[in-house]
Amino acid sequence: MTSPATQRAHWDRVAEQFPDLFPAVSTQYYRDVEIALLRRTVPSWRGLRVLKLDLWNEAVNTRILHWMQDQGAEVYGLDVSTVTVRRARRNAPPAGPAMHLVQADIRALPFASESFDLVYTMGTIEHVEEYRQSVCDVHRVLRPGSLAIIGVPHYWDPFLRPLIVGALELFGCYPYSPEKAFSWPELRRVVTEAGFAVEQRAGILAIPGIIRMADTFLFRRGIRLDGLVSLSLWPFGVFERRWPWFGRHFGYLAAAVVRKPRA
């Protein structure tokens, strides 16, 4: 097991390299399809106690925890990187209810058992070898009868993102390494073995991952090709927003909507 300190140092270094990607066109696309998935899955957020794994989105990406708070949820988030936590805290709305953002490891969640009504994680567990342990801990902190949404890179992404990631990793150019991709049967097995009942297969970001990679690569270097990126994402957005099955099968993030059974 990589120690939490090594893990923290690694992700601190990664976080230090990144500007805030929130304004990038592909980030806004990501945010839109994330919100569509959350709206479809959770009819009412008011009063829910929600935990989100990783604060990358709140530090430099989609700010999805802010959206959940705007819907009336009481929000908690954690990340192993102190840099990311600091940046996420800085981005938290100055007024309104507090966001509870802490530095912690997803392999040992620092929360009481049965203390959350929803756990959301999209693109986090695939970065640790002990992803099974993390899913078991998600199960532990959820109240019986509650939902979790667990998203990971999809191994069978038709736009071959895992292959591109593999090639970049080979040359040491993939910033989010290590990252594992899962087939749907594998993800289903992991969540089922943790004790969850699968309610739904879902997925988001049914776009060629290379567009997202190119957009963020250029954005980091101060090059904005917003019109071109919008145009290239437009046809995928039409399908993905209208038909959830498109994201479910072609999304580069596969997600399991799962429930912790009542005892």
Ligand X SMILES: C[S@@+](CC[C@H](N)C(=O)[O-])C[C@H]1O[C@@H](n2cnc3c(N)ncnc32)[C@H](O)[C@@H]1O
DSSP-based helix, strand, coil % in the chain, nearest 5: 45, 20, 35
Report the distance separating Cα 79 and Cα 81, nearest Å.
5
81 counts as binding ligand X under rule CB under 6 A: yes
Contacts of residue 199, Cβ cutoff 8 Å, sequence gap at least 6: 147, 257, 258, 259
| 76 binding ligand X? (CB under 6 A) | no
CB distance 152 to 62 below 8 Å: no
Contact flag: residue 54 with ligand X (CB under 6 A): yes
Residue 124 lies near ligand X (rule: CB under 6 A): yes
Distance of alpha carbon 231 from its chain centroid, rounded?
25
Binding string, 175-214, against ligand X, x = CB under 6 A? -x--------------------------------------
Nearest distance from C-beta of residue 226 to ligand X, angstroms: 19
Residue 91 interacts with ligand X (CB under 6 A): yes or no:
no
Using the rule CB under 6 A, is 26 a contact of ligand X?
no
- Of residues 25 and 80, the one with the C-beta less far from ligand X: 80
Six token digits for residue 182: 């899962």
Instruction: Please tell me whether residue 61 binds ligand X under the rule CB under 6 A.
Output: yes
**Sole binder of ligand X in the list 11, 29, 159, 236 (CB under 6 A):** 11
For the bound state, the minimum distance from the C-beta of residue 249 to ligand X, rounded and expressed in Å, comes to 19
Beta-ladder partners of 138: none
3-class SS of residue 51:
strand
Decide: is 80 part of the binding site for ligand X (CB under 6 A).
yes
Q: Tell me: does residue 77 bind ligand X (CB under 6 A).
A: no
Q: CB of 62 within 8 A of CB of 29?
A: no
Question: What six digits make up the tokens of 179?
Answer: 């990252």
Say if CB 239 and CB 233 are below 8 A apart: no
Positions in the binding site for ligand X (CB under 6 A) = 7, 11, 54, 56-57, 61, 79-81, 84, 105-107, 122-124, 127-128, 176
